[in-house]
Amino acid sequence: MGSRQPTLAVVGATGSVGTVMRELLTSRRNVWGEIRLIASARSAGKQLSCRGEQLTVQELTPDVFDGVDVAMFDVPDDVSLAWAPIAVARGATVVDNSSAYRMEPDVPLVVPEVNREALDYRPRGIVANANCTTMAMIMAIAPLHREYGLRELVLASYQAVSGAGQIGVDTLHDQLSKVAGDRALGSRPGNVRQAVGDDLGPFPAPLALNVVPWSGDLAADGWSSEELKLRNESRKILALPSLKVSATCVRVPVVTGHSIAVHAVFGSELNAEEARQVLRNAPGVILVDDPQAGEFPMPIDAVGTDPSWVGRIRRALDDPRALDLFITGDNMRKGAALNTVEIAELLAAEIAKSQG
Amino acid sequence: MGSRQPTLAVVGATGSVGTVMRELLTSRRNVWGEIRLIASARSAGKQLSCRGEQLTVQELTPDVFDGVDVAMFDVPDDVSLAWAPIAVARGATVVDNSSAYRMEPDVPLVVPEVNREALDYRPRGIVANANCTTMAMIMAIAPLHREYGLRELVLASYQAVSGAGQIGVDTLHDQLSKVAGDRALGSRPGNVRQAVGDDLGPFPAPLALNVVPWSGDLAADGWSSEELKLRNESRKILALPSLKVSATCVRVPVVTGHSIAVHAVFGSELNAEEARQVLRNAPGVILVDDPQAGEFPMPIDAVGTDPSWVGRIRRALDDPRALDLFITGDNMRKGAALNTVEIAELLAAEIAKSQG
């Protein structure tokens, strides 16, 4: 015993995902020695609480990684690209929540409940965390895949505004304040746009009283980057490089909690009750499937919780190998901060073991 | 000339769909002689405007149909079941917007742009109008089917609260007034439920800051009646009795405008630009497909307009015979009142022709 507890760095500690990371580090069983909170020069010097301590935010510099064992990054892609290799060079293993490294063949994309073993091969010292929408979905699909052999996914998302950061949340609430109670809105084209005004925040259109079938950047052939992430990341996490995936990503006026309507085609026939049993036994999944009692997965219930909520399990009427279901997960927790923390904790356990 | 213009009855004239029917009768080219507004005893005697006239609402009685040529019904299923045969016995042809008759083999289910010819066989004197979600979707899918031969539909809906009537709209606005601007909501489970309180109106859960994967009644094997309508009505309208259809129906905090994410598999290969051209030429469809310019179909733009708005056209990356797209339509207009009025106008033209 008496082994040194590993040192953790949280890069992007002042952001909205960083805030959830600090909450999780406070509420979960502690495996860390020193924790360093790191952010841009603008936030350096700020006092933030974590694990019951008041910590001073340190500026992102190469030296700040000296002595760090594990560094969790939640920063934009370009910052990750620039700084993850520096952290690695100073001796840290990086768990990165940006999309910068996810599809690199020598960077594992890890969901502990699904492909824990992928963590063992990380030649670059970087581990990637999946996109928030992929994450909620894959938690329920992976156990079904193990049982029935996944062939195809058709996905439609209902994505919350907090996926776009605090500015997304503020934008939605500002817009809702302008339209709430005005019953005449929503009966004529342009009414909502006029009431909301020009401040669309990070979104291409008003979110209040609307749904916006767009998320991310424009990729080839009319696809959004978010839709391609769902395809590419699902294939990588499940180790199914030719899995058929079609996704349509849609932003909805929900604060937190990404939902996905899933049509999943498998290699073998299945029945709904057996599938429910698979999901009941799956780690990180909670089954809520009693429509008569008003029980189905919804953002207002899943927010602030760890698991993926899964329900509306139906065998397709025209294909005994296909299942329709609905999934909701907290995009800030398992979809971002929680999975990153879980990977970091696995690394901490590895360090403890190697010292044991 | 000098032929008598036909007499129209509007049954359910005081409801929210009835209100849109009166607006359409006012704004469209007039083909009607007398118009009678009909409602329950509770509303009888009320004065309502239609076609620039003030009309007195008449109570629903058998006699009120004497001399009526065409009767548009927007009432609950049980009222349609009881009263449509009475209207027919008095000499009227009924265009019914309930779901009571839609799947009857001797009642045509008509979308004029899609299966106008079905109107000619109506042995019971009743014509049915499709479900609002089916309607928005079928307008865009039918022309693609004619070109490429439809094999399968996977659907996820984003349905507006006005589909549940004025009470749905009032409920959403009441709930939004309670949560708008409260940025702390939506970060903990139960917060929104608590803020909204017990008044859920016609919905099984709060709609403010939420999406609810349920619409309609519980049918067999966990399906909702709304989901089965999408399957059954699509099959009937397109005359494809074994079309594969899987749908997940979800209510969202939008006032008016049902949206549907569609994955459509066809019999022959296609490309997205050709499919766009098919949709550009399709009647009752408007193509909005320029994501870079922020142009995609959305409820706040489609509300108050007649066509189905279609965009996000993408050929599936893993199936050259499949197309992914997003469709929005005003559920009160084409989804309900407009299609009913259009069918009634076709019947009026028939009457005019038979007198000519």
Three-state secondary-structure class, residue B261: strand
* pLDDT at residue B1 in the model: 46
Inter-chain residue contact A303 with B212, CB threshold 8 Å: no
Res B226: pLDDT: 97
Residue to test with chain A: of B17, B300, B327, B332, most A Cβ within 10 A: B300
Specify the 3-state DSSP secondary structure of B218: strand
Task: Determine whether the interchain pair A183/B204 forms a contact, defined as Cβ–Cβ distance below 8 Å.
Answer: no
- In CATH, the number for domain A8-130+336-355 is 3.40.50.720
Of A50, A132, A145, A249, catalytic: A132
Residue A145 is among the residues annotated as catalytic for this protein = no
Closest CB to B209 among A214, A224, A253:
A253
**Is B17 marked as a binding-site residue?**
yes
**pLDDT 10s digit of each residue in chain A, 356 long?**
456 899 999 999 999 999 999 999 999 999 999 999 999 999 999 999 999 999 999 999 999 999 999 999 999 999 999 999 999 999 999 999 999 999 999 999 999 999 999 999 999 999 999 999 999 999 999 999 999 999 999 999 999 999 998 999 999 999 999 999 888 877 788 899 999 999 899 999 999 999 999 999 999 999 999 999 999 999 999 999 999 999 999 999 999 999 999 999 999 999 999 999 999 999 999 999 999 999 999 999 999 999 999 999 999 999 999 999 999 999 999 999 999 999 999 999 999 999 86
Residue B2, pLDDT score: 54
Binding-site residues of A, in ranges, read 14-17, 42-43, 102, 159, 162-163, 251, 331
**How close A288 gets to chain B, by Cα (Å)?**
12
A255 to B316: CB separation less than 8 angstroms, yes or no: no
Instruction: Specify the length of chain A in residues.
Output: 356
| Contact (CB<8Å) A326/B250 | yes
Q: Tell me what pLDDT residue A186 has.
A: 72
Test the A interface: residue of B174, B179, B298 with most A CBs within 10 Å: B298
Q: Compute the distance between CA of residue B277 and CA of residue B281 in angstroms, rounded to an integer.
A: 6
Q: Which residue of A has its CA nearest to B272?
A: A221
The radius of gyration of chain B from alpha carbons, rounded to an integer in Å, stands at: 21
- Which pLDDT does position A1 carry in this prediction? 45
The 3-state DSSP class for residue B196 equals helix
pLDDT < 70 positions in chain B: 1-3, 356
Domain boundaries, chain A: 8-130+336-355, 134-330
To the nearest whole angstrom, how far is the Cα of B201 from the nearest Cα of chain A?
Answer: 14
B258 is catalytic: yes
A183/B180 Cβ within 8 A:
no
Choose the CATH number for A134-330 among 3.40.50.620, 3.30.360.10, 3.90.960.10, 3.20.20.100.
3.30.360.10
- Topology, domain B134-331: Dihydrodipicolinate Reductase; domain 2 (3.30.360)
CA separation for the pair A211, B116 (Å, rounded): 32
Query: Closest-CA residue in chain B for A254?
Result: B209
Instruction: Read off the pLDDT of residues A34-93 as tens digits, 9 standing for 90 and up.
Output: 999 999 999 999 999 999 999 999 999 999 999 999 999 999 999 999 999 999 999 999
Please answer whether residues A287 and A280 qualify as being in contact, where contact means their C-beta atoms are separated by less than 8 angstroms. yes
Q: In angstroms, rounded to a whole number, what is the distance separating the alpha carbons of residues B344 and B24? A: 12
At A291, the amino acid letter reads P
Which pLDDT does position A187 carry in this prediction? 77
d(C-alpha B138, C-alpha A356), whole Å: 65
Tokens 């407009």: give the residue. Answer: B338
Inter-chain residue contact B213 with A311, CB threshold 8 Å = yes
Token representation of residue B27: 């704004």
User: How far is the alpha carbon of B300 from chain A, nearest alpha carbon, in Å?
Assistant: 6
